[in-house]
Amino acid sequence: MVEEALRLYPPAAFLSRTARSRDTLGGREVRPGDTIMLPIYALHRHRLLWDDPDAFDPDRFAPGVSRDRFAFLPFGAGPRICIGASFALQEAVIILATLLSRLRFALTGRRPEPRMILTLRPHGGVWLQVSRRA
What is the percentage of the chain residues whose pLDDT exceeds 90? 80
Q: Read off the amino acid at residue 115.
A: R
Separation CA 39–CA 71 (nearest Å)? 11
Separation CA 121–CA 15 (nearest Å)? 16
Pair 1, 58: CB distance under 8 Å: yes
The tens digit of pLDDT for each residue in 63-73 reads 999 999 999 99
Please determine, for residue 74, whether its predicted confidence score (pLDDT) is greater than 90. yes
- Predicted TM-score (pTM) of the model is 0.84
User: Where do the structural domains in the chain lie, given as residue ranges?
Assistant: 2-102
Burial 60-79 (b: 16+ CB within 10 A, else e): beeeeeeeeeeebbbbbeee
